[in-house]
Structure 1
Amino acid sequence: MSQEIEIEFKNLLTKSEFSALHDFFRSFSKEEMTQMNHYFETETFSLKNNGAALRIREKGNHFSATLKQPNPLGPGLLETHQDISVNEADQWFQNKIQPDIEIADALSHLGVDVKQLRYGGKLETTRTELAYQDVLVVLDHSRYNGREDYELELECKEEKQGLAVFHQLLEQFHIPERKTMNKIARFYHTL
């Protein structure tokens, strides 16, 4: 189990905007991967109503459950991670959800009953990550529920620095800033 604070900025992109950014970063050292996010929620959207989200991220044969919730100490989200086995992931997908004590306690604190959680489905992302001006730039192409979208994410340690680089990239590529829901919200919005 581990915890971290995530500060990020997001913007949905058109396919041509995504391609322009991808071309710009072509010569940068980067990591490319495909990952699957599996989402969980209650029928009454208890997690969403608390500004939280629960997912399992699958990369190859590695599975990690993550609870994201508002950071009580400042900007960003508090993420609690739990590595789980393939068998445990299969149990979660069958609505037999048994998080470790830290995630279970955090859910309880949010007023979310683990027994009410249900598997909602999956979102597949082809992701490119690279370091740029002291931030992590992430270019995502996601597919879910018969839809696809493109997204720029910037993850940073310092909110001010991240926001400056985010706006600089949008301006440089003439990309309008768009109100962008997170992936889990976009996923559930299409059901």
Structure 2
Amino acid sequence: MTQNIEIEFKNMLTKIEYESFLKYFKISQSQIFSQENHYFDTPDFALKSNDSALRIRKKGGTYEMTLKQPADVGLLETNQVIGEEEVIMAIHQGILPTGIIQPLIEDYQISFSTIEYFGSLITERVELEYKQGLLVLDHSIYLSKEDYELEYEVEDYQIGEKIFLELLKQFKIPSRKTENKIVRFYKQKFDKTN
């Protein structure tokens, strides 16, 4: 189990903007890796209403269940490594693995057994060390939608924000309101106007 504070800046990109970053940073196809996110909540979105999110991520051959919760700055991430059998049980039978995350969810007065699987999102990702943080380029595919996103993960909010805004300015990209992947996924899944 690990816990860490996640401080990241995000901006949606057009396909052309995304491709310009790939070109600028000379990204080869071999640097792009795939990860799969499986999302969970209660039928009435009790986690979402607490500004929290639960996912299981497959990255390479490993699986990790992550609870994201609000923190004073950024998000508190609690990670629990789980096995493939536990993932299958969670997705197909709605039985989540017990461990460090369960009591954190139950602190919200949410019964662990009421959490259900909502679906998955696949991301083709590139990660680059950039100045004082980690620059991430994402191409995500979920339901009938594709989108592109720039993320910048940092230790220091003020420094990170300055570098991120300078990078957007350098590429002449407007600052866009960017929601988390799980929010975009839920909007696509449940918004009947799509």
* TM bin (shorter chain): over 0.9
Give the conservation status (yes or no) of the 8 Å contact 1:135–1:155. yes
Shift of 1:132: 0.7
Matches within 5 A, 1:49-128: 49-71=49-71, 74-94=72-92, 95-100=94-99, 102-128=100-126
Q: Deviations over 1:75-130 (max 9, x none)?
A: 01000000000001101102111331x21111011222211100001000000000
User: Distance between the aligned counterparts of 1:131 and 1:166, measured in 2?
Assistant: 13
Give the conservation status (yes or no) of the 8 Å contact 1:56–1:66. yes
User: Distance between the aligned counterparts of 2:148 and 2:163, measured in 1?
Assistant: 19
SS in structure 2 at match of 1:162: helix
Q: What residue number does 1:19 align with? A: 19
| TM-score in terms of structure 2 length | 0.93
Q: Which aligned segments of 4 or more residues in structure 1 are displaced greater than 3 angstroms? A: none
SS in structure 2 at match of 1:190: helix
- Amino acid aligned to 1:48: K
SS in structure 1 at match of 2:89: helix
Shift of 1:27: 6.7
- Amino acid aligned to 2:156: E
Q: What residue number does 2:192 align with? A: none
User: Distance between the aligned counterparts of 2:59 and 2:186, measured in 1?
Assistant: 21
Give the conservation status (yes or no) of the 8 Å contact 1:31–1:130. no
For structure 1, which runs of at least 5 residues remain unmatched after alignment? none
- Amino acid aligned to 1:84: I
- Amino acid aligned to 1:66: T
Shift of 1:61: 2.3
Give the conservation status (yes or no) of the 8 Å contact 2:82–2:97. no
- Aligned CA-pair RMSD: 1.4
Instruction: Give the count of matched residue pairs.
Output: 187
- The verdict on how the C-alpha distance between 1:53 and 1:97 changes in structure 2, with shifts beyond 3 A counting, is same
User: Distance between the aligned counterparts of 1:3 and 1:187, measured in 2?
Assistant: 25
Shift of 1:60: 2.8
Q: What residue number does 1:148 align with? A: 146
Shift of 1:31: 4.7
Q: What residue number does 1:2 align with? A: 2
Give identity over the alignment, percent: 45
User: Distance between the aligned counterparts of 1:129 and 1:61, measured in 2?
Assistant: 18
Shift of 1:154: 0.4
- Amino acid aligned to 1:99: T
User: Distance between the aligned counterparts of 1:23 and 1:110, measured in 2?
Assistant: 45
SS in structure 1 at match of 2:165: helix
